[in-house]
Amino acid sequence: MKELSRIALAIEPSATMAIDTMFKQMKADGLDVIGFGAGEPDFPTPDYIKEVGIKAIQNNDTKYTPSVGTVALRKAICQRLKEDCGVEYAPAEVSVSNGAKPCVYVALRALVNPGDEVILPAPYWVSYIELIRMVGGVPVVVEATEAEHFKITPEKLAAAITPKTKCMILNNPSNPTGMMYSRKELEEIAKVCVEKDIYVISDEIYYRLAYDNEEFVSFAALGEDVKARTLLVNGVSKSYAMTGWRIGYVAAPTAISKVIGNYLGHCTGSPSSISQAAAAEALSASQETVEKMREAFEERRNYMVERMNQIEGVSCIKPEGAFYVMMNISKVFGKELFGHVIKDADDFGSMFLKYGKVAVVPGTSFGAPEFIRWSYATSMENIKAGLDRLECFLSGKE
């Protein structure tokens, strides 16, 4: 038989799957394991949003919609972007799809020719690198160190740009680091992008989860010249606890949105009409419930960070957004635990699961091999128990 597509064959399976499979197997075997791997809010979707979804079914709102989403939803998106981020888009500049993930893909599709370079600051969200490869792009990974608070500097960005660079993917606040760029930091980055003429895919899916009263600044809000080269990706998954409804969007200048619309029209068709109705409600109703979730995340972050930094051998810097903490485990490398020398983050992850009964995500898959990602999208009770177990594990007790 003839070979499969070389592009498809080159796609790596998610490296987080191995630990996840082990975690699920242990749970199924009845073991008391705690998971900190989930990238989704543990809260249910708020009732007032679910009710609109139910009503959409009852009212036979169950047909195809325009492939870039209903006008009602795109209007609600424009209104929310204006209120929360101070950016103005027309509904024709917004394309809705089945989650933010395909929006990143289709944004890359709109920009990248085979062989074009795409700058990716590391640590990065695991899917970006594969999405870049899927469109025939070449990922150019630029490391942002813990000392730099995992944020790409304008100097490093400028040094990575070549005549082949088409765009950069910026994730703010970041998965996996939880770091958030200040207005000044973004302005410096934007200046380089404008001067060197590159686009920015700005994934702002965690924008509502910003802590310590820090201001979230959308990349597109930095001025008309910046907005003209920004493809703003966002969605309802994380802010409204709606991961399963699969609604995300990309806002971009008309010429780019047109290309994206053509692509989606042939590739995915319209997203679920029911989910679109629910998402429009989420975006246009009072944002009070969402704010309560944000407050709960902030409280959990505070506890996790303080406690982690009291544990011998590991440390973390304080994230400003999203719901992840990056734990530095470099001091544990070379240490013997349970008769096994810990060589790297993968080793740590599987040993911690086996002996500590805690599932976390090794940083290897995020381009951060000295770190472990903890998600605090889980109950305070689990967080306390998980950190107790970490303390036991690091002192060699099961």
CA of 244: how far to CAs of 37, 195, 232, 349, 391, in Å?
17, 40, 21, 27, 34
Name the residue nearer to ligand PLP (CB basis): 239 or 389.
239
Q: Of 67, 63, 53, whose CA–CA distance to 281 is shortest?
A: 53
Minimal distance in Å, beta carbon 233 to ligand PLP? Answer: 7
Beta strands in the chain (DSSP E): 34-35, 94-97, 117-122, 138-143, 165-171, 199-203, 230-235, 248-251, 315-316, 324-328, 336-337, 340-341, 358-359, 361-362, 371-375
Among 78, 205, 342, 359, binds ligand PLP (CB under 6 A): 205
The DSSP call for residue 11 is P
Minimal distance in Å, beta carbon 72 to ligand PLP? Answer: 19
> Is position 289 an interface residue for ligand PLP (rule: CB under 6 A)?
no
Among 39, 69, 121, 261, binds ligand PLP (CB under 6 A): 39
* Residue 43 to residue 49: CA distance in whole angstroms: 13
Q: Binding residues for ligand PLP, how many (CB under 6 A)? A: 13
Minimal distance in Å, beta carbon 284 to ligand PLP? Answer: 19
Name the residue nearer to ligand PLP (CB basis): 128 or 393.
128
Among 16, 67, 165, 171, binds ligand PLP (CB under 6 A): 171
Name the residue nearer to ligand PLP (CB basis): 15 or 392.
15
Minimal distance in Å, beta carbon 250 to ligand PLP? Answer: 11
Minimal distance in Å, beta carbon 102 to ligand PLP? Answer: 7
* Residue 40 to residue 376: CA distance in whole angstroms: 9
* Residue 273 to residue 279: CA distance in whole angstroms: 10
* Residue 332 to residue 353: CA distance in whole angstroms: 16
Among 35, 37, 91, 99, binds ligand PLP (CB under 6 A): 99
Minimal distance in Å, beta carbon 247 to ligand PLP? Answer: 7
Minimal distance in Å, beta carbon 279 to ligand PLP? Answer: 11
Name the residue nearer to ligand PLP (CB basis): 374 or 393.
374
DSSP strand pairing (117-122 vs 138-143) = parallel
- Contacts (CB under 6 A) with ligand PLP, residues 353-372: none
Name the residue nearer to ligand PLP (CB basis): 248 or 261.
248
Contact stretch for ligand PLP (CB under 6 A) within 8-16, 81-89, 95-103, 251-259: 95-103
Among 84, 117, 185, 203, binds ligand PLP (CB under 6 A): 203
Name the residue nearer to ligand PLP (CB basis): 35 or 99.
99
Could you write out the DSSP letters of every residue in 245-301?
G--EEEE--HHHHHHHHHHHHHHT-SPPHHHHHHHHHHHHS--HHHHHHHHHHHHHH
CA of 269: how far to CAs of 99, 100, 261, in Å?
13, 15, 9
Name the residue nearer to ligand PLP (CB basis): 235 or 356.
235
Name the residue nearer to ligand PLP (CB basis): 65 or 202.
202
* Residue 304 to residue 307: CA distance in whole angstroms: 5
> Is position 139 an interface residue for ligand PLP (rule: CB under 6 A)?
no
- Give the x/- contact pattern for ligand PLP in 222-261, rule: CB under 6 A: -------------x-x-----x----x-------------
Residues contributing to the site for ligand PLP (CB under 6 A): 39, 99-101, 125, 171, 175, 203, 205, 235, 237, 243, 248
